[in-house]
Amino acid sequence: MSLKFRGLLAVSIGLVLGLTLSLGSVVLAERDIRSTSSLPWDEARLLAEVLERVKRDYVDDVDDARLIEAAIRGMVADLDPHSAYLDPDEYEEIRVSTTGNYSGVGLEVSVEEDRVVVVTPIEGSPADQAGILQGDVVISVDGMPVDARDLNDTVARLRGVPGSSVQLGVLRAPDEAPLSYELVRARVQVSSVRHELLEGRIGYVRISHFSETTAPDLRDAVDAMRLDAGGELSGLVVDLRNNPGGVLEAAGEVADAFLDGGVIVSADGRVSDARFRLEAQPGDVMDGAPVTLLVNGGSASASEIVAGALQDHGRARVVGEPTFGKGSVQTVMPLSRGRAIKLTTSRYYTPSGRSIHKRGITPDVVATLPENAPADGSPIPDTQLDAAVGLLEDHRIRHSRAD
């Protein structure tokens, strides 16, 4: 195959930017899939027998292509939870998530209480410019109701050719009449990084997933906060909570941003392409200022690579709850007619040689969130963020006394 589309991806275990496809730690790579051993004809004959029985005796007529695709899905999915067959739409979702660029209206959506809810309109997108707000409930696309049980369908209907129009029905409050928006689709660049300057010149960066733009966006965020602070930042909190992964190379670049050298991650597998090692280059975006990382059970794969690398090198204190524990790498192998398979090909290890598969990263400081909101109705306090900020403040106080 001549398709030259390569990148390393990490696991996606939940909804990312309105995408419900689980990515897994993935290598998108050209691969010549030619068997080096003879085909097991007895087993192939069994498959043919089953297909023939289904074709002949199943209560409904079943299309041949559907049967073959179902057989392939079952074969690959039975290997492990992260291997999968990808139809053209699913393969395109992976490509979108790695580049962070697609054509649509620019809405991040999720399902909450059986409703399709706007997480955020992407800045500068058609949805943002039209005035759609966080918390709005999407009730229809082009006059057709949306189904919260099929978020993929809603996302697909919101996307389309740049310049094409789409009618969006939105409910802003239960007691108000629905709002209607006529949006013109455009190219949308999804940012995976958000930042905020906290008190005491402490920077806060939230990385929602890892895409090709994450590392440069992180550096831009640090520069912007440094400018707002009128000088150097006293510390940085990197929030990786519920970050399900994304581009593994981007995770390596993020870890590299804080390291002056050493191994970031290594991987081992049966074939040469599945064995690799990423190493850091000189240069620390924080110039040695302290860093804390926030993680929880939703932090997986690429997030765990960053956390493991900075923890093993002593560059950051990890705060929160044990991570998910996804330490395998999948290779996305393009097939004909826009299809692909996502196949587990290797396992990766932290710089110290730890495998986090089914173990996760144990935080240096364990911190949990309160289960219930305060009795006065105020929001649930972010005690994990408070703990991460507290470590940075303690570091600043200790070093101020030493000076």
Question: Active-site residue 326, yes or no?
Answer: yes
Exactly one of 217, 239, 256, 312 is catalytic; name it: 312
Catalytic residue among 140, 234, 326, 328: 326
User: Among residues 327, 321, 189, 211, which one has the least CA distance to residue 265?
Assistant: 327
Give dist(CA 259, CA 74) in Å, integer.
Answer: 42
CA distance 308 to 313: 8
- Catalytic residue among 301, 303, 328, 346, which? 301
Taking the chain, what is the end-to-end CA distance rounded to the nearest angstrom?
62
Residues classed as catalytic: 301, 312, 326
